[in-house]
Amino acid sequence: MSVRHSGIGMTSQRTRLRMVERLRTQGITDEVILSVMGSIPRHLFVEEALASRAYEDVSLPINYGQTISSPWTVARMSELLRANEPLGKVLEIGTGCGYQTAVLAQIAEKVYSIERIGPLLTRTRIRLQELHVRNIHLRHADGLHGFTETAPFDGIIMTAVSAHIPPLLLEQLKVGGRMVFPKGTLKQNLCMIQRSEAGYSETILEEVNFVPLLSGVVKK
């Protein structure tokens, strides 16, 4: 990804490096993920009025009732998905503002990302084009159905919470692949499912907070 945008003050490279150092102290150890997140101008993915808060460890609203996940959440989910190994094809459920998509694009050969809210996806598509993120395919659709024609995937990441994972998504996970997602109702936890020849195994991890996974599409 070629990034031509640069900022000053709270949006500077120095600010991004401070974010990376904080992520290290919070337990993120994958240097590839840390380097990628240090290179992406996160402030361009939030509303201009919130740009000064872009590198704080908080989620922020991005309109349409959606949020951009905190830097730690993005780093942690990316680290779990990569598992210190190169990724081929990755499926992302919930494109949102595109920040997680941009991170995935630098750690995977190809990213297929689905967003149900049409106007949000339109804005995100333009943003990612301006940042020259090329190895992605964005689709306006119901993420619960996945991306059957390009399955199976080495990794699947879901950026909205659900009490249950749709079986159709699990079927699209490659044997040897990993799926990272938030799970729960009142209490949410980050979870990882690994698929082997014997079936699926699930690991429950840290407590998190995400918007709910919804079905259907929003056109306007």
Q: Residue 205 is inside which H or E element, if any?
A: strand 199-208
The bridge status of strand 136-140 relative to strand 188-196 is unpaired
Sheet holding 173-184, edge to edge: 136-140, 108-115, 87-93, 153-158, 173-184, 188-196, 199-208
Could you say which of 2, 6, 69, 215 is catalytic? 69
**Tokens found for residue 12:** 């500077």
Q: What is the DSSP letter of 135?
A: S
Radius of gyration of the chain measured on its C-alpha atoms: 16
Which residues pair with residue 114 across a beta bridge?
93, 139
Please check whether residue 65 is in contact with residue 128, taking contact to mean a CB–CB distance below 8 angstroms: no
Does residue 196 carry a catalytic annotation? no
Q: What is the dihedral of CA 187, 189, 90, 154, to 10 degrees?
A: -130
**Catalytic residue positions, numbered:** 69
